A and B are shown apart, each in its own frame.
Chain A
Amino acid sequence: MQDAVVSPEKTEEAKLKARYPHLGTKPGGSDLLRKRLQKGQKYFDSGDYNMAKAKMKNKQLPTAAAEKTEITGDHIPTPQDLPQRKQSLVASKLAV
């Protein structure tokens, strides 16, 4: 006898497709894997970086102090300026 009950998975799949009609045709495929492989990637444009560095150099000659505090839209952080990830020099709470 044919089992008339629809698998719960298929019901869930229909729900997902209803909410996201453009969801990848290839289920669980390369897109997901590639996202996983790229964890932690921060994009860097060397052109922007060098332009900003050059701009900073030029501006520094006349009025040095004012520019340093200003964070403009095209200010690409230099390695020295990168916000340091807070290092865990605090002891673990498990060790209390």
Chain B
Amino acid sequence: MCRCCYPPSCPTSMAGAGGGGNDVQWCFSQVKGAIDDDVAEADIISTVEFNHSGELLATGDKGGRVVIFQQETENKSQPQCRSEYNVYSTFQSHEPEFDYLKSLEIEEKINKIRWLPQKNAAQFLLSTNDKTIKLWKISERDKRPEGYNLKEEDGRYRDAATITTLRVPVFRPMDLMVEASPRRVFVNGHTYHINSISVNSDNETYLSADDLRINLWHLEITDRSFNVVDIKPANMEELTEVITATEFHPHQCNTFVYSSSKGTIRLCDMRASALCDKHSKLFEEPEDPSNRSFFSEIISSISDVKFSHNGRYMMTRDYLSVKIWDLNMENRPVETYQVHEYLRSKLCSLYENDCIFDKFECCWNGNDSVVMTGSYNNFFRMLDRSQRRDVTLEASRESCKPRQVLKPRRVCAGGKRKKDEISVDSLDFNKKILHTAWHPQENIIAVATTNNLYIFQEKMN
């Protein structure tokens, strides 16, 4: 039975990732970034991603920098004190470039970060800007060799004539140093701008997608990639649709999906053919032609697609809604949630100020029972699938007291504004939450405002 557009209610809590019917209340935990309102372009956060264990949290920004936070090991004697995320490593991933041949300025903005599952002591992540994908190795060094015979401790060479004894150099502990080094640089794979990357469950390959093409790479091979999807028309005048996102299935290494600007999702099976231009499944919700307007196609453009952890569903985000699709049903989503339906009557101004083109992301919680996505005015939405409830919360410096419980927010679409409600016209459209991430196991979420990163956690009793 299809549950569509259920009316939003005003709960203060919802089922937690641990299940068991316990309601989760969200509290402020930490906020990272500068307080001042004057935001430098480089500081705009462009991607947020937890690693597979949730111990590490990476952010990328418009200035091409990556900052990685690490969860402190929980203090068992003080269970009320939830572990915090502190800076672990930071590095410049991409630099601005100019392609003289094509007269193209290449932004250093990090579009996406994806972690590789951990195989040894080091951590690996892929980061990409519009044109180049890089594999970074983040490793720890907590010992250093001391007691060389031919060198002083500061590196200067000793005069061989003064050496009278021999000693064996030993490793001694040192202050932890975290080093990031680029291990692979995957260049020249894309003519158009890369919008997503996705690591395969085989841990050997990954996909990268630009507006018109999707390439399959091997993590070890940088001078070659295999084109698996190409939707470029022979005549560019006939271009009607672009690729907006792609993702590998979490368990089936042969399956991936890609979404389009026309609101469709195509599932491809790499076993079927080398070039996956012909999809195996096409997910599309039929549209009522009488409802069609100038804005229909623009707001149907899918800005993000994410598989559920169990691999049975996928979620898509378009401008006004979040849809959950069952991979076995192509003709319509099984669930549709309105994110901010009150914006439908503001589409004209949102088109004029370009907000209608904002690309919001979405994410699942660990057990696929709740999904989250951002909105304007630094609001974000938690949509509980199992309890059929939703709540709007705000990432604000005004709710920053330690362990302060977040109060639900309500937007008044029209008519009389109740107390504590905010009217649609008072919403700040410059305060957008485009990027959010959910810890893979716990109820810890990372929410990025323009230049700040908020970390919220489940209230512990």
Contacts and interface: CB of A to CB of B under 8 A. Distances in A.
Interface in B230-250: 236-242
Contacts of B45: 94
Interface string A22-53: 01000111101110110111111000000000
B293 A89 contact: no
Contact of A9 (B100, B193, B344, B352): B344
Given A7-B293, A91-B65, A94-B59, A28 B103 contact: no
Nearest to B61: A92
Contacts, number: 133
A90 B63 CA distance: 9
Given A37-B192, A92-B90, A13 B293 contact: yes
A40 to B, nearest CB: 5
A57 interface: no
Interface stretch (B105-113, B327-335, B373-381, B395-403): B105-113
B67 A27 contact: no
Nearest to A27: B294
Interface residues of A, number: 41
Nearest to B96: A85
A68 interface: no
Contacts of A88: 42, 63-65, 92, 108
Contacts of A15: 348
Contacts of B453: 94
Given A8-B345, A42-B103, A89 B240 contact: no
B344 A27 contact: no
A9 B287 CA distance: 14
Interface of A: 7-13, 15-17, 19, 23, 27-30, 32-34, 36-37, 39-44, 79, 82, 85-96
Given A28-B296, A94-B32, 9 more contacts: A9-B293, A12-B345, A12-B346, A16-B294, A17-B294, A28-B295, A40-B104, A42-B103, A95-B90
9 contacts: A13-B294, A23-B294, A28-B298, A37-B192, A37-B239, A93-B451, A94-B61, A94-B67, A95-B87
